Amino acid sequence: MADDIAIKVENVSKDFSYTRRKAVTVKSAFTSVFKRKAKDEKTVQHALKDISFDIKKGEFFGIVGRNGSGKSTLLKMLAGIYQPTKGNITVNGKLVPFIELGVGFNPELTGRENVYMNGALLGFSEKEVSRFYDEVVEFAELEQYMDKKLKNYSSGMQVRLAFSMAIRAKADILLIDEVLAVGDADFQRKCFNYFKQLKGLDTTVIFVSHDMTAVRQFCNRAMLINNGIIQNIGDADEVAFYYSKLFADDHDKRLLQSNKYSGKSDYIKKLTIDIGEYIALSGLICPIKDLQSPIFGFVVKDSSGTAILGSNTKMLSQRTGTLKKNSKHTFSWRFPNILSDGEYTIDLALVGEDGTSIIEWLEEIGRFVIKKTITSPYSVMPEITLKLTEKK
Amino acid sequence: MKKLQQRYRYSLILLKQLVKTDFKLRYQGSVLGYLWSLLRPLALFVILYVVFTKFLKIGEGVPHYPIYLLLGIILWNYFIEVTSGSITAIVGKGDLIRKINFPKYVIVVAGSFSALINLTINFVVVGVFMIFSQVDIRQIVVLLPLIVLELFIFSLAMAFFLSAAFVRFRDINYIWEVLMQGAFYATPILYPLSLLPIAAAKWLMLNPMAQIIQDIRYVLITPQTQTIDQLYGTQLIRLVPFGIVLGTAIVATWYFRSRQRFFAEEV
């Protein structure tokens, strides 16, 4: 194996076979010896099919894919937890997996004891743990809690402790699986800072994530796994783009039905979303009772549920006047399409004149997908101009 | 070579922590804590003393019969603790096995060491009683560590086999429980071997547990204990129980090694 390669995966396949009844008993083992025909129907699931790739030393390598695509299986094989059914995996250097934070944490032990246990799993002797013990506690901000049992910790405290242990691990290769999915914003910032540090070192990092922003930001290279095969491997931006496209394509099909708004609302009878240079929402309101100058608004949310833009008649200083019972009113909103790739949902809301009494709030009443040719890690892409002039 | 050393180091670190954790957790929540390790054999001794010196007088020919009994029982208990405890050891650590790759045998060895600590404490209690009862301590006592080693290896081998087998066959624990209840009576623990017809005694003594218990009683308590070589009239017969121990160790190690790759998927 070439010296600059950290991990070499050659023609690896992984099958999981399930027999009908999962727990085998001694009796059934005996009877199946005698009754060959009683062999249960075996269903084989091909989690990975003949995968080959290399990861170079010092690389920050992303693995992306949908749930069930086989990426976790691959990660477990890289970590040596699962054995490949076929093929070879060669690992060059000390590999530490973070499939989960705080592996081996025991709720019945104190924080201190757990640090030593977790340290042992990461390959640290007691002496070595003692040397950095104070730092760990300080970093986790848990000075007063170390002699309390872990079961009395909040989940946030546990994660903090686990993370401050995890970053002690001295590895040539780190496997990180969705660690960022837990913890609050502050904790995520800590994680990102740690990754930034790692990028400067020689550590090879393999990073499995659903967060394309993180993948674009950190990874030199990435790989998209879909249905057990490598669909795309190469530049992280490109792979992230294909990953988003995977969802977009899927949604296009669904959208054909879902975009046609069914009209379960009492007030809003129609909603159409047009996407072009501008995004236009238009529809029909038919009140079932008289509404005195209601406030009418919308919110656009991204796939994580964060409201990213919206407006209403009050903000726009637009008086709606009286909407009579059973009358029909059309509406249309329009805003420049500055959204970057992804899936978005729309809430529509009708609120009373006072601004507090909700007449109707329709969550995720509309859904649309943006697919642009240029990609960006940021959620909005307004037109940005740059002028670079040399100063004389 | 360096890699091998590294792996060995990792196993040792893990082993130490696992044994420590086990010891800490064992008596957690109990008021007397570690004292129970001492109190249990003590209480057992009191019961045995009352039953076998006041009511059942089957061991009259054997000097220091209550200690003799106590010793047999603590040795048997060690064997049960290691083997029965090991059955669910791998499955019980399933959560860990699914998340990190580490030498799995450490789990089983750790259980065995925890039991060994317990056995040592028990030996201390026995020692105290021996002093009080003025048991004659002879030079042959130096053989004790060797016989304990045999016991350690035999128990550990069974533990390897059982823990690996349980991952696939989940009724092993019930089978083992029943089997051990039978084996308890098929081993001369509660009764002196002299109660049995010679032919039966000869068969029973081929069981390594019987050979080990009788040998330890012989070296510690009284030369009146019937050992396997006395029964057969030759030291060569020891090759049979030794062979069984060795055979079990080889088969169990091979089985455990071949199965452990699949633990993560099967637990």
- For residue range B250-259, what is the model confidence (pLDDT) as tens digits? 999 999 999 9
- In a mutational test of the B interface, the residue from A121, A170, A173 whose CB has the highest number of chain B CBs within 10 Å is A121
**Nearest-Cα residue of chain A relative to residue B265:** A82
Instruction: Specify the pLDDT at position A260.
Output: 45
Tokens 């400067």 correspond to A200
**Nearest-Cα residue of chain A relative to residue B8:** A123
Verify whether the Cβ–Cβ distance B28 to A83 is below 8 Å: no
Q: State whether A143 and A87 are in the same domain.
A: yes
Are residues A282 and A255 in contact, defined by beta-carbon separation less than 8 angstroms? no
pTM: 0.74
Q: What is the distance, to the nearest Å, from the Cα of residue A363 to the centroid of all Cα atoms in its chain?
A: 22
Residue A379 lies in a domain: no
What is the Cβ-side half-sphere exposure of residue A225, based on CA atoms within 13 angstroms?
A: 26
Are residues B240 and B229 in contact, defined by beta-carbon separation less than 8 angstroms? no
Verify whether the Cβ–Cβ distance B25 to A81 is below 8 Å: no
Mean pLDDT of A215-242: 88
- Of B181, B240, B182, B230, the C-alpha closest to B208 is B240
Q: State whether A182 and A277 are in the same domain.
A: no
Q: Which of A164-168, A180-184, A239-243 has the lowest mean pLDDT?
A: A180-184
Q: State whether A242 and A360 are in the same domain.
A: no
The CA distance from B117 to B124, in Å, is 11
- Of A207, A169, A220, the C-alpha closest to A74 is A207
Q: State whether A324 and A245 are in the same domain.
A: no
Collapse the DSSP code of A279 into the 3-class scheme (helix H, G, I; strand E, B; otherwise coil) and give the result: strand
Q: State whether A133 and A272 are in the same domain.
A: no
Mean pLDDT of B227-237: 89
DSSP annotation string for A123-184: T--HHHHHHHHHHHHHHHT-GGGTTSBGGGS-HHHHHHHHHHHHTT---SEEEEESGGGSS-
Are residues B42 and B36 in contact, defined by beta-carbon separation less than 8 angstroms? no
Flag whether pLDDT at A300 surpasses 70. Answer: yes
The CA distance from A302 to A306, in Å, is 6
Q: Using DSSP bridges, classify how beta strands A173-177 and A95-98 pair: parallel, antiparallel or unpaired.
A: parallel
At B156, the pLDDT band (50, 70, 90 cuts) reads very high
Q: State whether A279 and A165 are in the same domain.
A: no
Residue B6 lies in a domain: no
Q: Which of B17, B25, B264 sits opposite A116 (nearest CB)?
A: B17
**Nearest-Cα residue of chain A relative to residue B29:** A108
* A372/A321: higher pLDDT: A321
Instruction: Specify the pLDDT at position A257.
Output: 40
Residue B248 lies in a domain: yes
Q: Does B2 touch chain A (CB under 8 A)?
A: no
Verify whether the Cβ–Cβ distance B169 to A80 is below 8 Å: no
Instruction: Specify the pLDDT at position A183.
Output: 61
Mean pLDDT of chain A: 81
Residue A174 lies in a domain: yes
Taking only the tens place, the pLDDT of each residue in A318-361 is: 888 888 888 888 888 899 888 887 778 888 888 888 877 888 88
Q: Which of B13, B18, B262 sits opposite A123 (nearest CB)?
A: B13
Instruction: Specify the pLDDT at position A255.
Output: 44
Domain tally, chain A: 2
Flag whether pLDDT at A93 surpasses 80. Answer: yes
Looking up residue A114, the CATH number of its domain turns out to be: 3.40.50.300
Verify whether the Cβ–Cβ distance B171 to A25 is below 8 Å: yes
Residue B35 lies in a domain: yes
CA distance B141 to chain A (A): 36
Q: Which of A26, A83, A116 sits opposite B169 (nearest CB)?
A: A26
- In a mutational test of the A interface, the residue from B9, B14, B18, B21 whose CB has the highest number of chain A CBs within 10 Å is B21
Mean pLDDT of A95-121: 86
The tokens for B207 are 């069981």
Residue B125 sits in which domain range?
12-266
Flag whether pLDDT at B75 surpasses 60. Answer: yes
Residue B2 lies in a domain: no
The Cα-based distances of B143 to A175, B71, B224, B261 in angstroms read: 50, 16, 17, 38
Residue B223 lies in a domain: yes
Q: Does B162 touch chain A (CB under 8 A)?
A: no
The CA distance from A111 to A142, in Å, is 9
Instruction: Report which secondary-structure segment, H or E, holds A347.
Output: strand A342-351
Instruction: Specify the pLDDT at position A254.
Output: 47
Q: State whether A237 and A314 are in the same domain.
A: no
Interface of A with B (CB under 8 A): 16, 23-27, 29, 76, 79-83, 94, 97, 99-100, 103-104, 106, 108-109, 113, 116-117, 120-121, 123-126
Mean pLDDT of B21-47: 80
Q: Which of A139-143, A336-340, B24-28, B75-79 has the lowest mean pLDDT?
A: B24-28
Q: State whether A289 and A226 are in the same domain.
A: no
Q: State whether A73 and A175 are in the same domain.
A: yes
Domain tally, chain B: 1
Verify whether the Cβ–Cβ distance A117 to B261 is below 8 Å: no
- In a mutational test of the B interface, the residue from A103, A110, A112, A151 whose CB has the highest number of chain B CBs within 10 Å is A103
The CA distance from B227 to B204, in Å, is 11
Q: Which of B13, B99, B264 sits opposite A120 (nearest CB)?
A: B13
Verify whether the Cβ–Cβ distance B101 to A81 is below 8 Å: yes
Compute φ and ψ for B169, nearest 5 degrees. -110, 100
List own/partner pairs for B236-244 with CB under 8 A and 24 or more apart.
B238/B211, B240/B206, B241/B205, B241/B206, B241/B207, B241/B208, B241/B210, B241/B211, B241/B212, B242/B150, B242/B208, B244/B206, B244/B207, B244/B208
Q: Which of A26, A99, A123 sits opposite B99 (nearest CB)?
A: A99
Verify whether the Cβ–Cβ distance A120 to B28 is below 8 Å: no
Q: Which of A203-217, B129-143, B229-243 has the lowest mean pLDDT?
A: A203-217
Flag whether pLDDT at A259 surpasses 50. Answer: no
Flag whether pLDDT at A122 surpasses 80. Answer: yes
Instruction: Specify the pLDDT at position A264.
Output: 62
Mean pLDDT of B187-204: 88
The tokens for A341 are 């790739």
The CA distance from A134 to B5, in Å, is 29
The CA distance from B71 to B123, in Å, is 8
Verify whether the Cβ–Cβ distance A100 to B99 is below 8 Å: yes
Q: State whether A209 and A285 are in the same domain.
A: no
Q: Which residues pair with B145 in a beta bridge?
A: none
| ipTM, interface predicted TM-score of the complex | 0.81
Taking only the tens place, the pLDDT of each residue in A33-62 is: 555 544 556 788 888 999 999 999 888 899
Amino acid at B214: Q
Flag whether pLDDT at B62 surpasses 60. Answer: yes
The tokens for A77 are 């094989």
Instruction: Specify the pLDDT at position A258.
Output: 44
CB contacts, 8 Å: A104 with chain B: 96, 100
Flag whether pLDDT at B88 surpasses 60. Answer: yes
**Nearest-Cα residue of chain A relative to residue B9:** A123
CB contacts, 8 Å: A97 with chain B: 99-101
Residue B101 lies in a domain: yes
Q: Which of A100, A109, A121 sits opposite B102 (nearest CB)?
A: A121
Residue A360 sits in which domain range?
268-370
- In a mutational test of the A interface, the residue from B12, B15, B17, B263 whose CB has the highest number of chain A CBs within 10 Å is B17
Tell me, letter by letter, the H, E, C secondary structure of chain B.
Answer: CHHHHHHHHHHHHHHHHHHHHHHHHHCCCCCCCCHHHHHHHHHHHHHHHHHHHHHCCCCCCCCCHHHHHHHHHHHHHHHHHHHHHHHCHHHHCHHHHCCCCCCCHHHHHHHHHHHHHHHHHHHHHHHHHHHHCCCCCCHHHHHHHHHHHHHHHHHHHHHHHHHHHHHHECCHHHHHHHHHHHHHHCCCCCCCHHHCCHHHHHHHCCCHHHHHHHHHHHHHCCCCCCCHHHHHCCHHHHHHHHHHHHHHHHHHHHHHHHHHHHHHHHC
% pLDDT > 90, chain A: 15
Find all residues with CB under 8 Å of B198, minimum gap 6, and list them: B231
The CA distance from A92 to A3, in Å, is 9
Verify whether the Cβ–Cβ distance B21 to A103 is below 8 Å: no
Flag whether pLDDT at A133 surpasses 80. Answer: yes
What is the Cβ-side half-sphere exposure of residue B256, based on CA atoms within 13 angstroms?
A: 25
Q: Using DSSP bridges, classify how beta strands A229-235 and A268-275 pair: parallel, antiparallel or unpaired.
A: unpaired
Compute φ and ψ for B24, nearest 5 degrees. -65, -40
CB contacts, 8 Å: A121 with chain B: 14, 96, 100, 102
Are residues B205 and B193 in contact, defined by beta-carbon separation less than 8 angstroms? yes
Flag whether pLDDT at A144 surpasses 80. Answer: yes
Mean pLDDT of B63-81: 89
Instruction: Specify the pLDDT at position B80.
Output: 94
Q: Does B175 touch chain A (CB under 8 A)?
A: yes
Instruction: Specify the pLDDT at position B29.
Output: 74
Looking up residue A301, the CATH number of its domain turns out to be: 2.70.50.60
Flag whether pLDDT at A143 surpasses 70. Answer: yes
Collapse the DSSP code of A121 into the 3-class scheme (helix H, G, I; strand E, B; otherwise coil) and give the result: helix
CA A266, A269, A271 angle in degrees (round to 5)? 130
Q: Which of A24, A117, A121 sits opposite B169 (nearest CB)?
A: A24
Residue A29 lies in a domain: no
| Backbone conformation region of residue B64, classed left if phi is above 0, alpha if psi is from -120 to 50, else beta | left
Q: State whether A114 and A216 are in the same domain.
A: yes
Instruction: Specify the pLDDT at position B115.
Output: 93
* A186/B111: higher pLDDT: B111
Residue B205 lies in a domain: yes
Q: State whether A273 and A219 are in the same domain.
A: no
Verify whether the Cβ–Cβ distance A83 to B14 is below 8 Å: no
Q: Does B168 touch chain A (CB under 8 A)?
A: yes
% pLDDT > 70, chain A: 85
CB contacts, 8 Å: A106 with chain B: 21, 25
Q: Which of A26, A100, A121 sits opposite B171 (nearest CB)?
A: A26
